[in-house]
Each structure stands twice: as structure tokens, then as C-alpha cells.
Amino acid sequence: MRKLRAVLIEDETMFRQLILLTLGKVKDLQVVGEFGLGKPGLEYCLREKPDLLVVDLMLPDINGIEIAREVRKAVPETRILVITAHPSERLPAELMMLGVSGYVDKTEPIEYVLSAVETVRAGGMFFASRVRGKGGAGALLPSRPPLAVPLTEREQEIAKLVAAGQMSKEIAAKLNLSVRTVEKHRANIMEKVGVREVASLTRWCIQAGLIDS
């Protein structure tokens, strides 16, 4: 397996070292760049195009969301894992809209970073965080914000099957449709939702509440 080239952007020195030690436990992963500031880290990512970016949300010079936005736009194949000590209920939805693959609260066990990296590496999504509820207890952040669904019932049915990894031939057999009809539905779904690949459609389906994360 080719080594996963990772970049870490984290301004807190001790936490950065802790994450580096944690990433060092991931098989076939190499940290090719580490930065305490966002701008040089962003420039490096745009130039070197790493496979994985682990970035803190709150940096002294530039917001982690802006970094994620720029990297997703210029290097869409780079998977992004966001870490933060300031979770909010709106954040998961915002990150999903950006195409971020994972999100870990710094107050969670450091092992969560390991799980997140392995999940993101396999093409999945990992969202783990807690926020204080009105009663004071920690509650898992919702990962399924409301979203308007511009698809017909049949399109929703096919979108869920596509997001589940089923091929057009399988979907056609399951729904008693021709492969050509399924392909036409898939094209219409992608156009309506505004995505071009299955991973992005899966994120959209999760956000729209069509499937569970």
C-alpha cells in the first residue's frame, strides 16, 4: 500500500506533538508537513497536494474552515479531518457542506483521531464531538441537519442505493428497472443535488436525512 501523505496544521505545540505521536501509530502514513500557522500550511497543501490534511479550526492567522474551503476547491482529492476545542451544533453541517470527511473534538480521547484517520482513509466519514446541552450534560452533536430534498420519491430511492454502494445493474434488478433508466435517474440526481461523485452524494444523503451516518 502506498503511504498516505499527511499534513498537520495545529498551533498548540503540545497538542501538535500529541497528534504527531498518534499519527505515527497509523500504518503506512507519513506526516510530510507540520505547521503552527494556517497560511504556510495552506500554501504547502496547495503546492504538495497531500492525501490527508488534519487541521485545527481555530488558528492565529486564518480560520480552519477557510483552509478547508481552499484545499477542497484546489485539491478535491485531499481528505480533510478537522479538530477543534470549540464545538457547536452548527459546525458538523457546515463542514459537511464543505466536503470535510471528519471532525473530532479535542476533548474526546486521542484514540478518536486514530479512528477518524482510518475511517477517512477508507473513504468514509467520522464525526465525533460533544456539546453541552441545556441540562449541562454532554450530548452527541447532530450530524443530520435539515435540508430541502429536491428529488422525487423514485430518485430518493435510487440515491439511497447509490450512496449504499450499489451499482446501476444491482439497482435495476432490485427496482425492476432497466439499467439505462437507472443511469438516467443517477444523472438527474447528480445534477439536481449539484455533485459529481458518489462520495459527495453520500454526504448529501446523510445531511438530507435520507441515510444514517
Proportion of the chain above pLDDT 70, given as a percent: 87
Cα dist from 51 to 8, 71, 126, whole Å: 12, 11, 16
Task: Report H helices in 106-197.
Answer: 111-121, 153-163, 168-175, 179-193
In a domain, 146, yes or no: no
Question: Using 50, 70 and 90 to split pLDDT, how confident is the model at 179?
Answer: very high
In a domain, 148, yes or no: no
Overall number of domains in the chain: 2
Rounded CA separation 27/121 (Å): 11
Question: Using 50, 70 and 90 to split pLDDT, how confident is the model at 145?
Answer: very low
Q: Which domain holds residue 35?
A: 4-140
What is the pTM (predicted TM-score) of this model?
A: 0.63
Coil/strand/helix, residue 61: coil
List the CATH number of the domain containing 54: 3.40.50.2300
Confidence at residue 1, expressed as pLDDT on a 0 to 100 scale = 58
74 and 170 inside one domain: no
Cα dist from 90 to 80, 95, 107, 190, whole Å: 18, 9, 18, 25
Coil/strand/helix, residue 32: strand
80 and 130 inside one domain: yes
Nearest alpha-carbon partner for 81 in 60, 109, 107, 50? 50
114 and 158 inside one domain: no
Confidence at residue 152, expressed as pLDDT on a 0 to 100 scale = 85
In a domain, 40, yes or no: yes
Residues across the chain: 213
Confidence at residue 6, expressed as pLDDT on a 0 to 100 scale = 96
Tens digits of residue pLDDT in 3-60: 899 999 999 999 999 999 999 988 899 999 999 999 999 999 999 999 999 999 999 9
